[in-house]
Amino acid sequence: MTCPHCKSVEVVRMGHYYTKSGERRQRYKCKSCGRTFVLNPIKPRNYPEEFKEMVVRAVVKEGVGIRQASRIFKLSPNTVTAWVREFSKKDLRNEIRSEKPVIELDEAWSFVKKKENEIWIWIALERNSRKIISYAIGDRSVDTFKKLWDGIGDEIKREAIFYTDRWDAYNLIPYKQRIIKKGGTNHVERLFLTLRNDNPRFARKSIRFSKSIEMLENSLKLWIHYYNLSTL
């Protein structure tokens, strides 16, 4: 037996380890270079992109938790989390076109780690196409609304009618384009219910929650992407 790193024959046994499938395997150590190795090492799996997307969609859109997904698909929870981060970094923008855009704006709260850490989710929904055209995550201040407003295209800002509630942050919208009306935000409010149903980490009364704002935003970004695809 030779060391695969330095080709030395001065090799001794160095205990055992167990694979995820429960197989007991012998570990060896090279006296020359000090490195350890095993015979016939298990090669990492190269999962196809279609499989990765299926797992990610199950987590962010179909209400499957990360640990549930790891049990169902026989993966490590860290692998599932890494795939969610990987897919959230892709360009997921969807082009929205509407001759007379009607935008509903609303916000809903969630939390990270504990309910005292409130996080507000702001969404802009185009009523005619039922597509989400912008979102923002933060507090309930004007600064977070500006992030939402900046995500709306300039052409839509000039032509759209905006339905909002009476929250002060919406006062930045031009007066002639803003409408405050009972039932004016029904569609976006119903959208938040769909979000909480599809992804329990956004539910208010749940034992599932995000441990970091990064994962909360990654999940929201991917959910919006799959939601917009479903409205085609």
In a shared domain, residues 109 and 224: yes
Banded pLDDT at 207 (limits 50, 70, 90): confident
Range of the domain at 128: 102-230
Quick check: 120 and 108 in contact, CB under 8 A? yes
pLDDT at 166 over 70: yes
In a shared domain, residues 191 and 127: yes
Total domains in the chain come to 3
Exposed, middle or buried, 66 (CB in 10 Å: 0-12/13-18/19+)?
A: buried
Beta-carbon contacts of 131 under 8 Å, excluding residues fewer than 6 positions away, are: 94, 96, 125, 228, 231
* Among the listed residues 80, 119, 106, 87, the one whose alpha carbon sits nearest the alpha carbon of residue 209: 119
In a shared domain, residues 198 and 120: yes
In a shared domain, residues 84 and 107: no
pLDDT at 109 over 70: yes
Q: What is the pLDDT of residues 87-102, one digit of tens each?
A: 988 776 655 666 789 9
For the segment 66-87, the average pLDDT, to the nearest whole number, is: 91
As a three-state string, the secondary structure of the chain is CCCCCCCCCCEEEEEEEECCCCCEEEEEEECCCCCEECCCCCCCCCCCHHHHHHHHHHHHCCCCCHHHHHHHCCCCHHHHHHHHHHHHCCCCCCCCCCCCCEEEEEEEEEEECEEEEEEEEEEEEECCCCEEEEEEEECCCHHHHHHHHHCCCHHHHHHCEEEECCCHHHHHCCHHHEEECCCCCHHHHHHHHHHHHHCHHHCCCCCCCECCHHHHHHHHHHHHHHHHHHCC
In a shared domain, residues 116 and 169: yes
Residue 87 CB neighbours (<10 A):
21
Q: Which residues pair with 161 in a beta bridge?
A: 102
Q: What is the pLDDT of residues 174-190, one digit of tens each?
A: 999 999 999 999 999 99
Token pair 């609304």 is found at 145
For the segment 161-185, the average pLDDT, to the nearest whole number, is: 94
| 97 found inside a domain | no
| 174 found inside a domain | yes
Q: What is the pLDDT of residues 36-71, one digit of tens each?
A: 999 887 666 788 999 999 999 999 999 898 999 999
| 80 found inside a domain | yes
Per-residue pLDDT at 95? 59
Per-residue pLDDT at 171? 93
Domain CATH for 202: 3.30.420.10
In a shared domain, residues 106 and 218: yes
In a shared domain, residues 226 and 117: yes
